[in-house]
Structure 1
Amino acid sequence: MKTWIKSTLVLSALTIFVFSCSDDDDFWDSMIPETDDDPTTSQVAGYVFKPATMPATDANVQQLEVPAGFTVQKFAEDLGHPRMMVVSSTGHVYVSDREAGEVMLLQDTNGDGIAESEETVANIRHAHGLSIHNGRMYIVAIRELYVADMNMDGTLGQPQLLVNDLPDAGQHPNRTIAFGPDGMMYLSVGSTCNSCPEPNPENATMLRLSSDGSDREIFAEGLRNTIGFGWHPETGELWGIDHGIDWLGDTEQKEEVNKIEEGANYGWPYIYGEGKYNPSDRPQGDTTYEQYLQLTTLPVMTYTAHAAPMAMAFYTGDQFPAEYQGDAFVAMRGSWNRSTPVGYKVVRLHFENGQPVRFDDFLTGFLINDNRAHFARLAGVAIHTDGSLLVSDDTNGVIYRVAYQP
């Protein structure tokens, strides 16, 4: 097996892989043959740049930028490491904290856009993905899936274990779940590595299960880490945004917007982007790159490499202008594997006639000091019952609320 080895020069009869500091194109002078009969050669400029971390002071929050007519404020703060969010039909806001292993309930009882109360309603090690279905809360950790009854006051009953044998996590422990129009549960399982053949066929997939955890099957594969996904409110089609491979340079691999269909293979780890070959990993057996490419469903759109897409939510509220209906909001966590930072913002993914057409910035300004520092790495997005957008930051423990007030 060939693997990426950071900051090390590795020479072999078959593969030459170099991380360089060249300012030339990231991926140049490459030869990637169809089989191992010829050597593979590629030179890549690999970087690590992590902006310094600053507090979410009032001054920093006040310089955040949103489109005209919108406002942004803190909905809640001092929350630890809030990740995924879900909002009940009664306006109860639930947020997971994977590091603390808990699910919190936030309530804005007077409707002023600020949560007055915070309460831990479940303690589950590595709790991450949340979904509400038929009045019950579903919580997924790394290897376990739980369900709990929801009480009128927003608290949860004792979580009941449904599944305890999800794949090991490795590099991507961020399981997320949602229920589709078919009433089935969809569960995203990331890869264990940056780029490698997976021994467990359920890694790097979208799984589908019945609400009781039974009838588990692989719905789609070749998805490196699709944390954010959802169904377009008009077409009912499933869309997801996948994390690209690291260590291919500043501009590769771009993040992928995929229409996720049953039985489809999205190429990871061998094919990426617009049908490009990954020089680090070759299809196993006698399969060539070209043959694997023919089996691969390519992305409908791409986004800037290393922006790190997290949660995605289609807008179905009634507060924002009508043109926002059916568009999606995506939290871009932000890069580390790049010479200059990208991400660290919320973007709007425009849909026309049910198809994605472009990205626009929506909530920006978390990068400060000439992009040398940041005060948020975003994780979750959710639409509140009042139509506002909630965005979680697990760096400073803040949930932001974006509202429309023309």
Structure 2
Amino acid sequence: MTTNKTALLLAGLGLLAACGGPSKQDKREAAAHTPARTVVTPAADTVRLPAPYTTKSVSNRVNIQPWPAGKTPVAPAGFTVTEYAGQFDSPRWLYVLPNGDVLVAEASTIPMSLPLKVAAELRLDKSRSLRDHSANRITLLRDTNHDGTPDLRTTFLANLNQPFGMLVMGNNFYVANTDGVLRFPYQAGATKITGAGQRVLGLPKGGYNNHWTRNLLAAPDGSKIYVTVGSGSNVQEHGPENEVRRANILEINPDGTDEKIYASGLRNPIGLQWQPGTGQLWAVVNERDELGDELVPDYFTSVREGGFYGWPYSYYGQNEEPRRKNERPDLVKKALVPDVALGAHVAALGLTFYDKAAFPARYRNGAFIGEHGSWNRAKYAGYKVVFVPFANGKPSGPPEDFLTGFLAGNGQDAYGRPVAVTTLPDGSLLVADDAADKIWQVSATP
């Protein structure tokens, strides 16, 4: 491979600085000795933030190995883990239809505008977060005999463009491609979509850092749809014009009209859910890279209408981003502190509140979060599902490990990478594993 090809790929994936060490600007900012800080969250927890560049930014991608025969992820005592379904092509997101059918969005991250052979030669796809194609389809799973295992499997919708978020509203089915929201006629119980779709909203497609996922959530009264759009860069290094409508949660009418920004400064919001009981909107957000191993924590937060959450000018509240220093002090002062720190670079993606009764009472109304796993950290972080307990509508404790065992334990290999999490009508939890192409089911042991 030529040196030029290598540089092109790394630059296109936003990894050049990480692989080659801090840039000159990074070194200048590090020399300014920005102090370590502590932040008190709305739940009165203390988050300790080291100084930027305390450790060198590294690229450390996991090697994916097949799950050994008979091995599954590990849940706490009192739970059983089984394979719900397999043989997918990057099962990225899950949606449970009103009748209990499970929709699986199969889509992949693809290096943008780069020769795929270069990616293969560099083996940057060893984590299976990069592939040479995207399946671009939605698969339906149905358990026709109610034995807990799906026995009907059909292609629900195909020929999409990196589909992710899915939503049923009345007689319409919505899907969020990376470049827009489509609406299709839908009939309850249908096993596939046959009618023509209508594009109700165009969106800026996945950016330089491959923030291509677009999630959907309906307002409780069905009057609005909320759409997540991640940033097109790490910290706006490609200019503000590249970030128009990005790093936001958008609000639209069901027909795509009356778009407005519901909340902003969210670098890559993905999981989006209404909290049971309170009706408060919550989200999980991927934060920025290349400030060191422990910066910046991904987070789980309530989302305030009109709220600004810092990106790209500050992080975890009003801690100024050294690469955007003194650019927007007015916005830095407005930045809200997120509720729950999840750890730096864990790549928090999936989110579901547990509103069923099958699990023990302590899990009810708490949140399960799928952590896809780090690439910008010397020691791997994430690669698990965590649980955040709630009481009286607020987080009542720190994130705790719930589903682990995805890392092989040798410091370089993993068997899978959890993404979406959702619940079935029977109260079990489904976890999409887009590296192993499986969906795991966690059930309370009778």
CA distance in 1, matches of 2:357, 2:180: 35
Equivalent residue for 1:336, pick from 375, 382, 406: 375
Q: CA deviation at 1:113?
A: 2.7
CA drift at 1:342: 0.9
1:81 to 78, 87, 90: 90
Which one of 45, 50, 57 corresponds to residue 68 of structure 2?
57
Confirm or deny that 1:405 pairs with 2:442: no
Alignment of 1:37-48 (within 5 A): 44-48=55-59
Task: Report deviation, 1:194.
Answer: 1.0
Matching residue of 1:141: 177
Alignment deviations for residues 296-338 of structure 1 (CA, whole Å, 9 cap, x no partner):
1111121110100112011112211222221111100001110
In the aligned structure 2, how far is the partner of 1:42 from the partner of 1:388?
42
Relative to structure 1, is the Cα distance of residues 72 and 47 closer, same or farther in structure 2, using a 3 angstrom cutoff? same
Letter in 1 for 2:138: V
**How far 1:43 moved relative to its partner?**
6.2
1:113-137 alpha-carbon deviations (Å, 9 max, x no partner): 3222221111112111112222532
1:117 aligned onto 2:152: yes
2:209 maps to 1:167: no
Q: 1:97: how far off?
A: 0.9
The answer as to whether partners of 2:431 and 2:439 remain within 8 angstroms in 1 is yes
Do the aligned residues in 2 keep the contact of 1:381 with 1:390 (CA within 8 Å)?
A: yes
Q: Decide whether the 8 Å contact of 2:22 with 2:56 is kept in 1.
A: no
Contact 2:167/2:174 (<8 A) preserved: yes
Distance across 2 between alignment mates of 1:311 and 1:192: 20
SS at match of 2:268: coil
CA deviation after TM superposition for structure 1 residue 260, in Å: 0.8
Decide whether the 8 Å contact of 2:178 with 2:205 is kept in 1: yes
Residue identity opposite 1:49 in structure 2: N
Displacement after TM superposition at 1:188 (Å): 0.3
Aligned pair 1:156/2:203, yes or no? no
**CA–CA separation in structure 2 for the residues paired with 1:42 and 1:86:** 39
Alignment of 1:98-247 (within 5 A): 98=107, 99-123=134-158, 124-148=160-184, 149-170=186-207, 171=209, 172-183=211-222, 184-196=224-236, 197-199=239-241, 200-247=243-290
Change (3 A) 1:9 1:351: closer
Distance in structure 2 (CA, Å) of the matches to 1:138 and 1:159: 12
Cα 1:129–1:18 change in 2 (3 A) is farther
Amino acid at match of 1:193: S
One-letter amino acid of the structure 2 residue matched with residue 389 of structure 1: L
Shift of the alpha carbon at 1:83? 0.8
> How far apart are residue 168 of structure 1 and its match?
3.0
Cα distance in structure 2, aligned partners of 1:187 and 1:253: 24
- The unaligned stretches of length 5 or more in structure 1 are 20-26, 33-40
Deviation at 1:159, TM superposition (A): 4.6
What SS class does the counterpart of residue 323 from structure 1 fall into?
helix
Shift, 1:44, TM fit = 4.6
Q: Which of 302, 313, 319 is the matching residue for 1:259?
A: 302
Letter in 2 for 1:190: G
* Distance in structure 2 (CA, Å) of the matches to 1:277 and 1:49: 26
Equivalent residues in 2 for 1:4-15, closer than 5 Å: 5-6=17-18, 7-8=20-21, 10-11=23-24, 15=25
* SS of equivalent to 2:324: coil
Instruction: Provide the rounded CA distance (Å) in 2 between the counterparts of 1:214 and 1:57.
Output: 50
Equivalent residue number for residue 27 of structure 2:
17
* Structure-to-structure mapping, 1:292-331, within 5 angstroms: 292-331=331-370
- Distance in 2, matches of 1:315 and 1:266, equals 26
TM-score by structure 2 length? Answer: 0.80
**Inter-partner Cα distance in structure 2 for 1:234 and 1:354:** 7
Deviations 1:102-159 (A, max 9, x none): 0100112233332222211111121111122225321000112112213424332325
Pick from 350, 360, 363 the counterpart of residue 389 of structure 2. Answer: 350
The range that moved more, 132-141 or 173-182, is 132-141
Q: TM-score, normalised by structure 1?
A: 0.88
Q: Quick one: which amino acid aligns to residue 82 of structure 1?
A: P
The share of aligned pairs that are identical, in percent, is 31
How far did residue 58 of structure 1 move?
Answer: 2.8
Contact 2:206 2:232 in 1 (8 A): yes
CA shift for structure 1 position 69: 1.3
Q: 1:318 to 1:137 in 2, by over 3 A?
A: farther
Is residue 312–residue 329 contact of structure 1 (8 Å, CA) maintained in 2? yes
CA, structure 1 residues 112+198, in 2 after alignment: closer, same or farther (shift >3 Å)?
A: farther
Q: Which residue of 1 aligns with 2:324?
A: 281
The structure in which a higher percent of residues are helix is 2
2: CA distance between counterparts of 1:347 and 1:324? Answer: 12
CA 1:28–1:44: 2 relative to 1, 3 Å? farther
2:197 is matched by which residue type in structure 1?
Q
State the Cα distance separating 1:173 from its structure 2 match: 0.5
Query: Which residue does 1:38 correspond to in 2?
Result: none
Give, in whole Å, the separation in 2 of the partners of 1:18 and 1:182: 51
